[in-house]
């Protein structure tokens, strides 16, 4: 039988659906047609009946949080075990076809440019694996005496959500040290990128807090790796954008969990003071002042406050409604107000000193007098703050296949840029492009990190300077017309960086050609990245949606 025949065990897509997809283009949310078919021998595998191509499965796998790219796979695998994933990859790798079908792992689909899609290939629905773990996806080792490593950790399935890791570890009075702002993401997904948030300046990204992993490589091999065992796989996969293997288990570092959090925001009208205070705070690591106060912060981020649109994001989140008028007046006067956001963790032993420590911190900073705002949260509520706001403001719901997102378009742009150019970026982007065009919707984040908390042996890419900033334009749009304007703005921001010789790196990157990946993103790391691809995924099967080695 020829390779053009569909696997008979599939549910066949209705002909009208196939016809319609042939009429649609690939941009701005319109799906591409599936024009190739999977090898018929795939039906002989034990996992064939777990492959689906019904409209429901295909629709979910051909979309993501961005709602910008649509790529239709030939089928979706709903694995019940790790062996299902390994068998699929090994079959694709051993298939004699000149162009083997591609495979992409899909966690929660929180990418914004189709990175977890596989046009004409197979998408692995990792949520199915989570559903078949029977609640055993997170194993916490809370006794140093029990742990062979002499330290606390959690063994976590790559398909598990960080919020589930939080809940499981808190039962033991423990928690991971590094987080993302949004916890309804899979462990394997964030570790394939980096995983950053307000704790990164102190503990490094999530990829810097992994002791060990189980990975299924692009050859279908099951490999246990760590800094001491199969190190080449370990460092390749962390931050590797899914190019070398699928993470099916990660051993995550834990520490004692605090009970509560003092969450504070302070407002600035001067960017230089804002940046100077941020950089000073991330330089303090557990330092005690003359009065024996612990003056370090546990979390630090920053954001822009602007009066853009009828529902300014800052109005609906942190600030008391009674203060909205005076904050809005401040924004109207200056155009942009810079908000420094910090948090200090505390428990029973530090209950009596945490407020005094904050007062010592305030005396070191140059925010606008009278514009400090404070909340007191439980540790769990603080870490899940973004999900609570998002669930209130947009249409998000859970299903057996994973989290379903709203219909808005999210043309996000996330950047890493060197400290030496952050003032130039403020003048040329924040105060010019963003403020004058007045089209930015959603949060704009800006905060610094310490490069010495990142491991350069990993695949993740950062600027070369000791301190660099992350800037995130977290746009949300309900219309194609505004999407096009935001897309132009994103391109103009990147063009400004190029013209100003700012060696910016994209976080959660998307490029269209191998040359762009080589020259604009990886730079000196490209040769190593390419060698690792040849070693662990020589047929270039995994994660085609990244468009690094195949312009899919």
**For residue 420, is pLDDT > 50?**
yes
- What pLDDT shows up at residue 99? 66
- Per-residue confidence (pLDDT) for residue 423, from 0 to 100: 98
pLDDT in tens, 37-58: 688 888 888 999 999 999 999 9
* For residues 537-549, average pLDDT: 96
Residue 19 has pLDDT above 60, yes or no: no
pLDDT value at residue 435: 94
Residue 291 clears pLDDT 70, i.e. is over it: no
Residue 193: what are its φ and ψ, rounded to 5°?
-110, -70
Residues 6+ positions from 107 with CB-CB distance below 8 Å: 116, 126, 127, 159, 185, 186, 188, 189, 402
What percentage of the chain reaches a pLDDT higher than 70? 84
Mean pLDDT of 310-326: 76
Calpha distance 546→113 (Å, rounded) = 8
If pLDDT is split at 50, 70 and 90, which confidence band does 95 have?
confident
Mean of the per-residue pLDDT values of the chain: 88
**Of the ranges 126-130, 149-153, 317-321, 372-376, which one carries the lowest mean pLDDT score?**
149-153
Q: What is the pLDDT of residue 350?
A: 86
CB 425 within 8 A of CB 417: yes
User: Contact, 318 vs 226, CB < 8 A?
Assistant: no
- Secondary structure string (H, E, C) spanning 527-546: HHHHHHHHHHCCCCCECHHH
Question: pLDDT at position 28, please?
Answer: 39
Residue 397 has pLDDT above 80, yes or no: no
**pLDDT of 144:** 62
pLDDT of residue 379: 98
pLDDT tens-digit readout, 195-235: 999 999 999 999 999 999 999 999 999 999 999 999 999 99
Positions annotated as catalytic residues are: 110, 181, 301
With 80 as the cut, is the pLDDT of residue 25 above it?
no
In whole angstroms, what is the distance from residue 303 CA to residue 319 CA?
13
- pLDDT score, position 472: 98
> Do residues 192 and 236 lie in contact, with contact meaning Cβ atoms separated by under 8 Å?
no
Beta bridge partners of 138: 156
User: How large is the average pLDDT for residues 465-482?
Assistant: 90
More confident residue, 100 or 364: 364
Residue 1 has pLDDT above 50, yes or no: no
Confidence class for position 151, pLDDT limits 50, 70, 90: confident
| 395-417 average pLDDT score | 73
Name which residue leads in pLDDT, 438 or 380: 380
Question: How many whole angstroms separate alpha carbon 232 and alpha carbon 148?
Answer: 23
At 30, the pLDDT band (50, 70, 90 cuts) reads very low
Confidence tier at 390 by pLDDT (50, 70, 90): low
Contact 264, 343 (CB under 8 A): yes
pLDDT value, residue 549: 93
Question: Which domains are seen in the chain, by residue range?
Answer: 15-126 (3.30.43.10), 138-256 (3.30.465.10), 260-404 (3.40.462.10), 413-510 (3.40.462.10)
DSSP string of 139-202, one letter each residue: EEE--TTT-TTSS-EEEEETTSBHHHHHHHHHTTTEEES---S--SSBHHHHHTT---STTHHH
Say whether pLDDT at 23 is over 90.
no
- 457 vs 34 pLDDT, higher one: 457
Confidence of residue 471 (pLDDT cuts 50, 70, 90): very high
**Residues of the chain above pLDDT 90, percent:** 73
H or E stretch covering 75: strand 75-77
User: Taken in order 57, 58, 59, 63, is the CA torsion positive or negative?
Assistant: positive
Q: Which of 504, 449, 547, 16 is nearest to 196 (CA)?
A: 449
Q: Judge if pTM exceeds 0.75.
A: yes
Give the pLDDT mean for 247-276: 97
Q: Which residues pair with 105 in a beta bridge?
A: 124
Higher-confidence position of 401 and 384: 384
Is the pLDDT at 8 greater than 50? The verdict is no
């Amino acid at each position: 039988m020829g390779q053009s025949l569909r696997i008979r065990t599939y549910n066949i897509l209705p002909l009208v659906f196939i016809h319609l997809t042939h009429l649609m283009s690939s941009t701005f949310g319109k799906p591409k047609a599936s024009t190739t078919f999977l090898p018929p021998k795939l039906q002989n595998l034990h996992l064939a009946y777990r492959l689906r191509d019904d409209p429901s499965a295909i629709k979910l796998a051909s979309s993501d949080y961005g709602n910008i790219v649509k790529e239709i796979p030939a089928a979706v695998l709903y694995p019940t075990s790790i062996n299902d994933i390994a068998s699929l990859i090994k079959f694709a790798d051993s298939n004699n076809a000149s162009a083997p079908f591609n495979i992409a792992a899909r966690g929660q689909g929180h990418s914004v440019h189709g990175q977890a899609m596989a046009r004409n290939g197979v998408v692995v629905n990792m949520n199915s694996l989570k559903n078949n773990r029977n609640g055993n996806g997170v194993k916490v080792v809370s006794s140093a005496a029990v742990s062979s490593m002499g330290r606390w950790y959690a063994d976590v399935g790559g398909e598990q959500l960080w919020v589930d890791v939080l809940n499981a570890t808190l039962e033991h009075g423990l928690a991971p040290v590094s987080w993302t702002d949004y916890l309804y993401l899979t462990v394997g997904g964030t570790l394939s990128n980096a995983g950053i948030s307000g704790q990164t300046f102190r503990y490094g990204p999530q990829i810097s807090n992994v002791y060990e992993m189980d990975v299924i490589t692009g050859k279908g091999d099951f490999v246990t790796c760590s800094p001491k065992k199969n190190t080449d796989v370990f460092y390749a996969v962390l931050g590797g954008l899914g190019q070398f293997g699928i993470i099916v288990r990660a051993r995550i570092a834990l520490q004692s969990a605090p009970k509560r959090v003092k969450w504070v925001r302070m407002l600035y009208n001067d960017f230089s003071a804002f940046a100077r205070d941020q950089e000073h705070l991330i330089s303090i690591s557990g330092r005690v002042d003359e009065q024996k106060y612990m003056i370090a912060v546990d979390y630090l981020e920053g954001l822009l406050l602007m009066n853009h649109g009828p529902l300014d994001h800052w109005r609906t989140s942190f600030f008391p409604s009674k203060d909205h008028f005076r904050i809005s007046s401040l924004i109207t006067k200056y155009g942009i107000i810079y908000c420094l956001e910090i948090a200090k963790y505390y428990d029973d032993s530090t209950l009596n000193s945490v407020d005094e420590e904050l007062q010592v911190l305030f005396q070191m900073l140059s925010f606008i007098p009278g514009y400090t705002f404070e909340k007191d949260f439980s540790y769990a509520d603080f870490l899940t703050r973004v999900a609570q706001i998002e669930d209130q403001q947009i249409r998000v719901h859970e299903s057996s296949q994973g989290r379903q997102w709203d219909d808005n378009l999210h043309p996000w742009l996330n950047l890493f840029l060197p400290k030496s150019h952050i003032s130039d970026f403020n003048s040329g982007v924040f105060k010019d492009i963003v403020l004058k065009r007045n089209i930015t919707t959603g949060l704009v984040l800006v905060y610094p990190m310490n490069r010495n908390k990142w491991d350069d042996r990993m695949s993740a890419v950062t600027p070369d300077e000791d301190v660099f900033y992350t800037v995130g334009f977290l746009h949300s749009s309900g219309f194609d017309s505004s999407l096009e304007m935001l897309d132009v703005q994103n391109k103009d921001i990147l063009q400004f960086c190029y013209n100003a010789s700012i060696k910016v790196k994209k976080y959660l990157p998307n490029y269209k050609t191998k040359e762009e990946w080589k020259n604009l993103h990886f730079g000196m790391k490209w040769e190593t990245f390419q060698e690792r691809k040849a070693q662990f995924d020589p047929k270039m099967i995994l994660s085609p949606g990244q468009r690094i080695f195949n312009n899919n």
